[in-house]
Amino acid sequence: MKNKYELSCIDLFAGAGGLSLGLEQAGFSVKFANEINPNAALTYMKNRSLPKESIFIGDVAVLNTKFEEHEAQFKNTFLVCGGPPCQGFSTANRQRLIDDPRNRLYLEYLKFLKHVKPHFFIMENVRGMTHRLDEVIDNFYEYLGQDYNISYGLLNAKDFSIPQNRERLFIIGNNLGISTRDVFFTLYSSVQQFFTLNDAIADLPELKPNSYKNNTKKENEDIGYFDRPYVYKNTEYANFINDGRTIHNLYNHKNRYNNERDIEIFRRLPQGGNSLDESIKDIMPYASRNHMFKDKYYKLKETEVSKTITSHMKNDCNMYIHPTQPRGLSPREAARIQTFPDDYVFYGPQNGWYLQVGNAVPVKLAEKIGRAILSCLN
């Protein structure tokens, strides 16, 4: 059954575009996006044919003052998605969430929804928001009215064919009379494959430790390239993230600088080993504060799923040590774990590639959410 709606989407706090890319793969079409980070916005635009006037680079609070300028673009929007950064979720905090300045962007997201009144909305956020979930749902009803059916679910990426232990809260609402519980039920009941870290990254070229300090533009066969021709192996995982397409270039597969001590730690640690492992006891730089730095170093296990890919990777990858090579994960390896297709290119400085990947919603999880919505719509 073909649905009667134009499946248009507005993406707020878009980042590099993981959430909306998955929705696009499900059949939605992004007509407008907002992102404050110019490098992430550049990545978003260059991987799409979205015209410049359809992306607002700046604070969403400023966008909320410009509704009249964008009235035609916002009209008849089917879905609004986004993950506003929030911090004030402590149960000890008696202040209302929407009054807490740390949650300013969450409030702006509610204001945007109130104006646009989409048929559907998706909000993704950290697990900590569950501590104040009743209040969050009340906020949505306060701003949108009782016409919306709203439900929520804690979704772990590893349960949806994604080789990563990543749990996030998703809140979904609609004003079409559809039970959003059915959306989550459809999502949970779909058949999932299981992929390991090895499935995700083992077919990429080996990289050696990078000893070129303060030279992020250096590229070669040892430490990798921003862009190079490459013939991929035909693997089940590559077909999964690339939707069966053949990709001819390898992007963002480039190692970052590490000092000799860290490289030696990377070599010695066994898979699953952390800062407390006996193998590095004599060279561990934080031995006197082990209780604070247990996870300062961690070597990933190739036969399991990865730990959560986060924006901390922009600082260092010591918690994301490659399981078989003495180095941290490359941005492309992190992007693969986040199920970005191999031809999705990240722009800006190298540390910024990690930031963009770490802040993203896994693409294939977003696609499954989009397909679950369409299934219930139809």
* 9 belongs to the catalytic site: no
Q: How many CB atoms lie within 10 A of CB 347?
A: 21
Q: Which residue has the tokens 């209302």?
A: 96
Which residue in the list 9, 86, 317, 376 is annotated as catalytic? 86
* 169 phi, psi to nearest 5 deg: -90, 135
* 217 phi, psi to nearest 5 deg: -90, -5
Q: Which residues of 309-331 are buried (b: 16+ CB within 10 A; e: fewer)?
A: bbeebbebbbbbbbbebbbbbbb
d(CA 89, CA 97): 7
The pair of three-digit structure tokens given for residue 351, joined into one six-digit string: 């540390």
For residues 331 and 353, the answer to whether their CB atoms sit within 8 Å is yes
Q: Residue 110 contacts by C-beta under 8 Å, 6 or more apart in sequence?
A: 98, 139, 140, 143, 144
Burial class (CB in 10 A: 0-12, 13-18, 19+), 186: middle
For β-strands 120-125 and 149-156, DSSP reports them as unpaired
Task: Measure Cα distances from 66 to 15, 115, 296 in Å.
Answer: 21, 11, 44
For residue 35, give the H/E element and its range. strand 29-35
Task: Measure Cα distances from 351 to 250, 314, 318, 331 in Å.
Answer: 18, 5, 14, 9
Residues tagged active-site: 86
